[in-house]
C-alpha cells in the first residue's frame, strides 16, 4: 500500500507539472519553433560591430568570399585603394562564379585600379559618394562603416554588420540611384 501511495503521489505531481506546462507560453513557443523552424530567429540577433580596420576587413573578406549572387561596394577614394588590395583576388574568383559585382567610388580614384576592376565588375566613379563606405552581399547582409577614414586612425575605424533584408534593400536602392546618375 505504501509503494502504491508513493507511485500515485509521483504520478499526481507529474500530472500537475504537465498541466501547468500545457498552458505555458514556453510550450507555445516550442511548438511554433518546431512547426516553422529556425526562420523565427529575430533579425536583431543577426548583427555585430567591429572596431579596428583589420577586424573590419577580416569580416568584409569573409562576406565577399561567401557571396552567392551579388557584391555591391561603395567606397571613399582611399578606401577604394585598400579594398582593391584586400579583395581583388576574391573579386576575380567571384566573377568566375558568375557573381555580379558593382562598385562605386569617388571621382579621382586610382584610374589603374578602376581599369583593372572594370574587367570583372561594373565600376563607376560618382560625385556624391563623399566618404560613404558600405558593402552589400546578396541583397541580404551589409557592412556599414561608421567613421570617416580620412579623419580616424585605422585602429579606431569601425563598422556595423547587419543581416536584415529590408534595411539592406533600402541602401541597395540608394546605391542604384547613384549608379544611374
What secondary structure does DSSP assign to 91-122, as a single string?
HHHHHHTT-EEEEEEETT--HHHHHHHTTTSE
Question: Residue 47 — pLDDT band, cuts 50, 70, 90?
Answer: confident
DSSP type of residue 44: G
CB-based contact 159:143 (threshold 8 Å) = yes
Strands 158-163, 70-74: parallel, antiparallel or unpaired by DSSP?
Answer: unpaired
Question: Residue 118 — pLDDT band, cuts 50, 70, 90?
Answer: very high
Res 48: pLDDT? 87
Res 66: pLDDT? 95
Res 61: pLDDT? 94
CA-to-CA distance for 92 and 162, rounded, in angstroms? 25
Q: Is the pLDDT of residue 41 over 60?
A: no
pLDDT tens digits for range 122-171: 998 887 666 788 999 999 999 999 988 888 888 988 999 998 888 888 88
Question: Residue 117 — pLDDT band, cuts 50, 70, 90?
Answer: very high
Phi, psi of 163 (to 5 degrees): -115, 90
3-class DSSP state for residue 172?
A: helix
Element (H, E) at 72: strand 70-74
Amino acid at each position: 500500500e505504501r509503494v502504491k501511495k508513493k507511485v500515485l503521489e509521483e504520478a499526481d505531481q507529474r500530472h500537475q507539472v504537465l498541466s501547468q506546462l500545457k498552458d505555458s507560453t514556453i510550450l507555445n513557443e516550442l511548438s511554433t519553433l518546431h512547426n516553422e523552424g529556425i526562420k523565427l530567429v529575430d533579425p536583431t540577433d543577426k548583427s555585430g560591430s567591429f572596431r579596428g580596420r583589420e577586424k573590419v576587413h577580416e569580416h568584409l573578406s569573409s562576406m565577399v568570399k561567401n557571396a552567392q549572387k551579388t557584391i555591391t561596394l561603395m567606397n571613399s577614394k582611399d578606401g577604394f585603394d585598400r579594398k582593391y588590395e584586400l579583395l581583388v583576388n576574391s573579386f576575380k574568383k567571384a566573377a568566375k562564379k558568375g557573381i555580379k559585382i558593382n562598385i562605386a567610388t569617388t571621382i579621382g580614384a586610382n584610374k589603374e585600379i578602376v581599369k583593372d576592376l572594370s574587367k570583372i565588375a561594373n565600376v563607376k566613379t560618382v560625385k556624391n559618394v563623399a566618404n560613404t563606405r558600405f558593402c552589400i552581399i546578396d541583397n541580404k547582409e551589409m557592412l556599414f562603416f561608421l567613421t570617416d577614414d580620412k579623419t580616424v586612425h585605422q585602429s579606431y575605424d569601425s563598422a556595423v554588420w547587419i543581416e536584415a533584408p529590408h534595411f539592406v534593400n533600402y541602401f541597395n536602392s540608394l546605391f542604384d540611384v547613384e549608379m544611374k546618375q
